[in-house]
Structure 1
Amino acid sequence: MEGLINRYRNLLQSFKTDFKRSHYNKINWNGRAICILGARGTGKSTLMLQYLKENLPLDQSLYLSLDDLFFKQNSLVDLAERFYQLGGRNLLLDEVHKYEDWQSAVKNIYDFYPDLKLIISGSSILALQKSQADLSRRLVYYELPELSFREYLSLKLKIELEKYDLTQILKDHQKLIDPILASVPDVMLHFENYKKIGAYPFFLEDERDYISKINQLINVIIDYDLPEGKDISTSTQAKLKKLLYLISTSVPFSPNITKLAEKTDTTRPRLLEMLHMLEVSKLIKSLRSSSKGISMMNKPDKIYLSNTNLIYALALENQNSGNIRETFFYNQLENSGSILTTAKNGDFLVNNQFEFEVGGKNKTFDQIANIPNSYIAADEMLHGMGNKIPLYLFGFLY
């Protein structure tokens, strides 16, 4: 245990807490047992370590990554017992899905040591979500999404920027622009950069390697994380990657499931299952009618990659501007808590109340004319007017 403690203390010493994700404040850190879900690369480990460094006594706390080789030969439950006997009261377990039968271990630790605080996280969302039925009585689940455009600016430029709720943006968008421009005069340039390399905090490491790291991330999710939650073959993994590429190069994608099954050399039911796996893994988002259920066997009305960076990584020179714009809009609104479904005339119905058409600066209201509470989210526009709002402003929702 001494080696594990030394590693965690060394890691904590070099750790910075100057920037925090907006979701940091949405977590009830006082809860007895917390599970943080999220796609790879979104900053779950950082979130845990920031909370530990600023709020927990070091001599009563221990951060462990369960992909450590120590756990190939040592029991997590035994280590937790020893830690507790030495006065430990806060146990943080990262990459928890890497530990065999981790659900039983977490259940035992929770039940055996009622005054031990548990914070766990992992990147294999499918494996973690499968545990919710067993552990829902014990764990409170939170989800950490990709960076918003606002968070990207704050992290890159080391500045504080205010976030706005959707009602503020719809009502006062013209007033909100000036304080943004005062801090970020070249906001449009940063917006174009964000769409390519801004969704994951590791853009800070080296922007030149960012796209290749995105591709590595996709491979790790499909080749390693998915098999931890579901028994899939290598041929299915190859088909999942082909499916992602087809989605990335499409115009805003209304899928023909039969043709898509043919292109990926699979059956219709299997294709729907594959789409479900990609959605649970946070690689795609499926848009459906509000009247449809979210069953795996219900065909989505539209399919998007989860964020615009994935489009640039997969589609290379074949990106569709409409796909990029709609993907950004869907990503930022859903990650901020809005519910998006298909619209009767426009691209999205938000919270069953607001209808949006997403396009370039010349986009007109023709498709949503005379529809109450209808708006245009327009790219390539610095300032908005009336119900036509700059697209980048929706990146300030969280």
Structure 2
Amino acid sequence: MEVLVTKYRELIGSIKTRFVRGLAEHINWKAQAVCIEGARGTGKSTLMLQHIKSNLPLDKTLYLSVDDLYFKQHTLIDVAEQFYHHGGRHLFLDEVHKYADWQREVKNLYDFKPQLQLVVSGSSILALQRSEADLSRRMLRYHLPELSLREFIALKERLVLPSFTLTDVLEHHTQIVDELKSKLESPLKSFRDYLTMGAYPFFLEGGKQDYLMRLNQLINVIIDYDLPEARSLESSTQAKLKKLLYIISTAVPFTPNIARLADQVGTSRSRLLEMLDLLEKAQLIHNLRSAAFGVSLMNKPEKVLLHNTSLIMALAEGQPNAGNLRETFFYTQLSGAGHRVTYPKAGDFLIDGSYTFEIGGKGKSEKQIAGIQNAFLALDDLEYGTAKKIPLWLFGFLY
């Protein structure tokens, strides 16, 4: 037990609180049980440690990384019991899905130790989903998305800028651009930097090449280790998943021909649909579907996009498609802000069933959204917008 406390105190001593993810303000930190899920590398561990350092008594709090070798010989419930009997009241469990049968032990702690607050995190959505039946009514769940453009600027340039609602952006984008440009000299430069290496906080730990190399390593860890822990996968399937990711990273945004895509990957149509679903649950891709058909494994997606633009840059080997980058950025920022993104009858995206968006370069006309109510253009290479033409970069300030 002492070794765990020592590791926790050393981590707390090294943690910085200058920049904190926006999600921290929305979490009900007073709840008895909280689950923070999100893709690998988004900063869940840091978020938990920052909250401890800034808000909790260190002697009544314990942070544990549950994949620690200590748990090869000790149970989580025994550690929690010992911690509780010594006055502990706040237990943070990181990478909880790495611990076998964690759902049952967390449920028991919740039921029999009501004075013990539990905060857990995990990056494997597939593994965390298995906890929903037992823990859904006990645990508040929050999703930590990749960095927004606004958060990237705050972290990289130490410049804290406000966030805006989608309604604000649609109705007052010209005034908002004036406000932001009074503090941010070149939004388009920051936007370009973000597209290359802005989705994950670890961009601070090295240059562009280090960042992209770490991203490739992250992809391999997810496919080679995380997915097999949650699903039975053959090594040949893992190789096909990586090939599928590469194809998606270099593609022009399009409605996928599933039969042709299956042939490219070397699998069957039904198996390809399963692979797309698996990659989406692993938070490596987005499957964009029409709201009219809903989410079903056997309904093919209307578009397939990587989960963020950094993944495109890491996989596309320096030859990303501009349209792919633009649409991926838009999807990531809107979904990260909590908006429902579906495929429209016309245009590229339908947001919350109400707003239609066409994405493109600054020369794109309003022809493709003509006659559509509540339709807008989100345009690249545009610093200021006019009327229904809104700078694409501005959608990076929604969270």
- TM-score, normalisation: structure 2: 0.98
The residue aligned with 2:275 is 274
**Secondary structure of residue in 1 paired with 2:182:** helix
The residue aligned with 2:289 is 288
Contact 1:253–1:304 (CA<8 Å) still a contact in 2? no
The residue aligned with 1:133 is 133
**Secondary structure of residue in 2 paired with 1:323:** helix
Q: Which moved more, 1:103-112 or 1:167-176?
A: 103-112
| C-alpha deviation, 1:374, in angstroms | 1.1
Q: Which moved more, 1:212-221 or 1:99-108?
A: 99-108
**Secondary structure of residue in 2 paired with 1:183:** coil
> Cα RMSD (Å) of the superposition?
1.0
The residue aligned with 2:52 is 52
| C-alpha deviation, 1:137, in angstroms | 2.2
Contact 1:376–1:387 (CA<8 Å) still a contact in 2? yes
2:185 partner letter: P
The residue aligned with 2:242 is 241
User: Take 1:100 and 1:350, find their aligned partners in 2: how far apart are those partners?
Assistant: 39
| C-alpha deviation, 1:318, in angstroms | 2.5
2:125 partner letter: I
The residue aligned with 1:31 is 31
**Secondary structure of residue in 2 paired with 1:120:** strand
**Secondary structure of residue in 1 paired with 2:114:** coil
The residue aligned with 1:394 is 395
The residue aligned with 1:17 is 17
User: Take 2:218 and 2:125, find their aligned partners in 1: how far apart are those partners?
Assistant: 14
**Secondary structure of residue in 2 paired with 1:253:** coil
User: Take 2:261 and 2:188, find their aligned partners in 1: how far apart are those partners?
Assistant: 36
User: Take 2:41 and 2:288, find their aligned partners in 1: how far apart are those partners?
Assistant: 24
1:124 aligns to 2:124 (yes or no) = yes
The residue aligned with 2:332 is 331
The residue aligned with 1:311 is 312
- TM-score, normalisation: structure 1: 0.98
Contact 1:130–1:229 (CA<8 Å) still a contact in 2? no
The residue aligned with 1:178 is 178
**Secondary structure of residue in 2 paired with 1:188:** helix
The residue aligned with 1:187 is 187
2:256 partner letter: P
User: Take 1:293 and 1:170, find their aligned partners in 2: how far apart are those partners?
Assistant: 27
| Superposed CA offset, 1:236-273 (max 9, x none) | 11111011011111001311111111111111111111
**Secondary structure of residue in 2 paired with 1:147:** coil
User: Take 2:130 and 2:183, find their aligned partners in 1: how far apart are those partners?
Assistant: 44
The residue aligned with 1:261 is 262
2:262 partner letter: A
User: Take 1:361 and 1:207, find their aligned partners in 2: how far apart are those partners?
Assistant: 30
**Secondary structure of residue in 1 paired with 2:256:** coil
User: Take 1:125 and 1:213, find their aligned partners in 2: how far apart are those partners?
Assistant: 21
User: Take 1:293 and 1:257, find their aligned partners in 2: how far apart are those partners?
Assistant: 18
**Secondary structure of residue in 2 paired with 1:84:** helix
| Superposed CA offset, 1:327-378 (max 9, x none) | 1001101110111111222111111111111000101011111222111000
1:165 aligns to 2:165 (yes or no) = yes
**Secondary structure of residue in 2 paired with 1:318:** coil
Contact 1:41–1:201 (CA<8 Å) still a contact in 2? yes
User: Take 2:122 and 2:154, find their aligned partners in 1: how far apart are those partners?
Assistant: 25
Contact 1:67–1:99 (CA<8 Å) still a contact in 2? yes
| C-alpha deviation, 1:181, in angstroms | 1.3
1:213 aligns to 2:209 (yes or no) = no
The residue aligned with 2:356 is 355
| C-alpha deviation, 1:53, in angstroms | 1.0
User: Take 2:214 and 2:158, find their aligned partners in 1: how far apart are those partners?
Assistant: 23
Q: Which structure 2 segments of 5+ residues have no match?
A: none
| C-alpha deviation, 1:317, in angstroms | 2.8
User: Take 1:200 and 1:148, find their aligned partners in 2: how far apart are those partners?
Assistant: 9
User: Take 2:107 and 2:123, find their aligned partners in 1: how far apart are those partners?
Assistant: 19
User: Take 1:264 and 1:129, find their aligned partners in 2: how far apart are those partners?
Assistant: 28
| Superposed CA offset, 1:97-156 (max 9, x none) | 111221122122222212110000011121112211222122111100000000000111
| C-alpha deviation, 1:9, in angstroms | 0.7
User: Take 2:245 and 2:293, find their aligned partners in 1: how far apart are those partners?
Assistant: 24
| Superposed CA offset, 1:272-312 (max 9, x none) | 11111100111000111111121222111111001111111
| Superposed CA offset, 1:209-231 (max 9, x none) | 00001101100111111112111
1:7 aligns to 2:7 (yes or no) = yes
User: Take 2:118 and 2:34, find their aligned partners in 1: how far apart are those partners?
Assistant: 6
The residue aligned with 1:371 is 372
1:363 partner letter: K
User: Take 2:271 and 2:118, find their aligned partners in 1: how far apart are those partners?
Assistant: 38
Contact 1:247–1:253 (CA<8 Å) still a contact in 2? no
The alignment covers a number of residue pairs equal to 398
User: Take 1:297 and 1:34, find their aligned partners in 2: how far apart are those partners?
Assistant: 33
User: Take 1:317 and 1:49, find their aligned partners in 2: how far apart are those partners?
Assistant: 36
Contact 1:244–1:305 (CA<8 Å) still a contact in 2? yes
